[in-house]
Amino acid sequence: MRRAISITVLSALAGLAQAENTNNFDCSNFLQFGGNVDKTRAEFVQSPETLAWNWFVCLNQPAATGSPNREWESMKPSDQVYLANGAKPAPYGTSVPPPDAVLTQAKAQGMDLSRTFHNLNATQQVDGMILEMGGAVPASETGKPVRFQLLMGEGTFDYVVQRQVYNMNGQAALTSNLEFPSIAWELKSAWLWIGSDATYKQTLENDGYYIAQAYYLQDGKYQVGYAALSGLHIINKLNPGWVWTTFENINNSKYTVSNAIPPTPMTNSTGPIAAAKPVNSQFQAQYPGLSKYELIAVQSKTNPTLLANSQLESAFQSQSSCFACHDTAAYSAKKGYFNFAMKEQGGIVYPTAPLPDSAFAGYNKLDFVWSLKRAQWQR
């Protein structure tokens, strides 16, 4: 009898575990929160970490049946929104091919021309510094910067175009604060440059990195090759103060280094927080293709106080608050963009709590969207 009860209990526990590992989250229309923002907000309150992982899974599904691209790769890159001449950008769904010089090199390397090519056009972090590759990277890449790309969802793009703030002329003409819709999304991705090194590419694939096709312009010449996704900020306006989530590859410390002398492996000092760890384990087991990525934390307003991605806020993690820094996004036709780098005791610090409204007198707030700073004057 005792043995029979034991078997029954074990069977029940096994069934419960199986049920818990079954993910019934609906990825269809998830960028619009399934058409029910209130329901999604209730899910967020119940477990922010679970919802963040569900978003991460949905973003990493194929963009369409048979597509070689992932869902998030179909978002609009910022360089196709904030154009160099300040012109109105092409519609959201319009495909903008890479420059001919990029395609010529890609074809010569045997790359897949049907896949997305990411323009990794940024290396500078908020503090003006770069994050260097080092450690186990090939000698040819040691000391070179981790590269970045900003992307936005359709809700964000449509509002930018509607308010005509894709150029500086539109921002200078603002007479009120911006207020993006609840379905606004932005992503910021961090990448380890691989180039055409097949051995290094395989090493990073073995360490669970997502490998994409990419290029960047350097000294008037395009560099074309492969890159590995090392970090991803996922931001949306589910809540009025936006929701800030960040993921990174668990092996980043092998390939990126601090600016210490001598350099040390780059690690994350802000997480994963305790609430993220069991959810990481659950989803990593359920999705082997994403198992080397981990959620650091989800920030809503100032909970938790700090949130950083080691690949995106490397040297100032102890002062990194996505909410507080982005809350300072503001522009004045007379003063320019608000400067959130505050002088203190002979140095520079960044806000980790919201500044008072009085700090923004004479400014129009940009609703947390600092990517608007990439806009150019129309000419």
| Model confidence at 336: pLDDT above 60 | yes
DSSP string for residues in 107-152: HHTT--TTS-EEE--B---TTS--PEE-TTS-TTTTTPBPEEEEEE
Numbers of helices and strands, H then E, in the chain: 9, 15
d(CA 162, CA 172): 15
Q: What is the pTM (predicted TM-score) of this model?
A: 0.92
- Are the CB atoms for 360 and 338 separated by under 8 Å? yes
| Model confidence at 163: pLDDT above 70 | yes
Dump pLDDT digits (tens) for 341-360: 888 777 788 889 999 999 99
Dump pLDDT digits (tens) for 239-296: 999 999 999 999 999 999 999 999 999 999 999 999 999 999 999 999 999 999 999 9
Average pLDDT over residues 234-238: 98
pLDDT value at position 22? 63
Reported residue count of the chain is 379
| Model confidence at 91: pLDDT above 90 | yes
